[in-house]
Structure 1
Amino acid sequence: MTIEESFYIGYVSKTRGLKGEVQLFFEFEDYADLDLDVIFLEVNKKLVPYFIDTVKLHNNSTAYVTFEDVDHIDKAQPLVRKKMYLPNDKLPIRDPDDFRWTDLVGFVVIDEQHGELGEIIDVTEMPQQFIATVEMEDGKQLMFPLSEDLILGIDGEEEILEVDLPEGLVDLYKE
């Protein structure tokens, strides 16, 4: 299996104890829905399968796992910081009505005052809110909170986000 035939879910963050248990950190949002019987770790640009004996999922995007044939810390240590992948056929199917802020990546932002601003290239989760980053025509990046107070409408078909950004915010980024 190649990286193109798989999707990234996170990485091995550290070892735990002396019996080969490791902690996984998931960067995949729906990690609880993943089928974790075997995961593939990237070793020397190749994906190597690791079969899971036990898995304990936690609410903080982590899990404690033991792999078959990894029964000592010395065998587990080389796995730390390795990226984890699953085959594309194990990608969980999301309900079409399950909308998330991160789904706005690729949408064009149109401001009520300034017109078309550019395309959303990133949505970052901050402690209090989500922040959208827009690539503007002049190559500069504009950041604004994805607050319901600022959003006038979302057109999922046309991939357009209509906003009314605070006065002066766009001008601040254009300077």
Structure 2
Amino acid sequence: MKIEDCFYIGYITKTKGLKGELQVYFEYEEPEDLVLDSVFAEINGKLVPFFISKHKLQNNNTGNFYFDDIDTIEKAESLIRKKLYLPLSLKPVREDDEFLITDLKGFIVHDETAGELGEIIEIHEYPQQYIAVVPYKFNEVMFPLNDDLIVEIDEENGILRVDLPEGLIDLYIGE
């Protein structure tokens, strides 16, 4: 299996207990939609399959996993910080009308006060929120994507209207 035939779901954060249990942090948005019979771990640039004997998902984008043949803490420790992948054939299909916050990448941001800021070039996902990154006046302006700041999402025209707090943009451009 090659990385280009897979999609990234998260990484192993730490061991739990002495019997090889591992904690996985999911960067995939909805881990409960994934088929988790086996995963591929990236080890030395190659994808190595691991069969899952038991797992339990938590509600904080983590899960606890037991892999076949990983039955000691020593074996488990060798997998810490390894990235995990699933084959593209197992990637959940989104509904046509399903819109995710990450779909805002590429939208043009208009602030109620400052006017057009530019295109969202990145969206960072943190446990508490999503952060949009927009180049503006030769700087990167970052702001949270939450209901308090979003005025309107115009999907048809690719425009995000926001009302950013006074002074936020000035922090980035130094005016």
TM-score range relative to shorter protein: 0.7 to 0.9
Match of 1:162 in 2: 161
Matched residues, percent identical?
57
Residue 133 (structure 1) shift: 2.1
What is the aligned partner in structure 2 of residue 67 from structure 1? 67
2:60 is paired with a residue of what secondary structure? coil
* Equivalent residue pairs, number: 174
* In structure 2, C-alpha distance between the alignment counterparts of 1:12 and 1:40, rounded to whole Å: 12
- How far the C-alpha of 1:92 sits from its partner, in A, is 1.0
Distance 1:14 1:127 in 2: 17
Indicate the RMSD between aligned Cα atoms, in angstroms: 2.4
Structure 2 residue runs without a partner (length 5+): none
**Residue 29 (str. 1) matches residue 29 (str. 2):** yes
Unpaired runs of at least 5, structure 1 = none
**1:103 is matched with which residue?**
103
**Partner residue in 2 for 1:142:** 141
Output the TM-score relative to the length of structure 2.
Answer: 0.84
* Matching residue's letter, 2:145: L
How far has the Cα of 1:93 moved from its partner? Answer: 1.6
Moved more, 157-166 or 6-15: 157-166
Distance change (3 Å), C-alpha of 1:130 and 1:54: closer
Inter-partner Cα distance in structure 2 for 1:172 and 1:18: 48
Partners in 1 of 2:169 and 2:88 — Cα distance? 40
**1: distance between equivalents of 2:162 and 2:25?**
35
Q: Which aligned pairs between 1:14-25 and structure 2 lie closer than 5 A? A: 14-25=14-25
Q: Secondary structure at the match of 2:89?
A: helix
Q: TM-score, normalised by structure 1?
A: 0.84
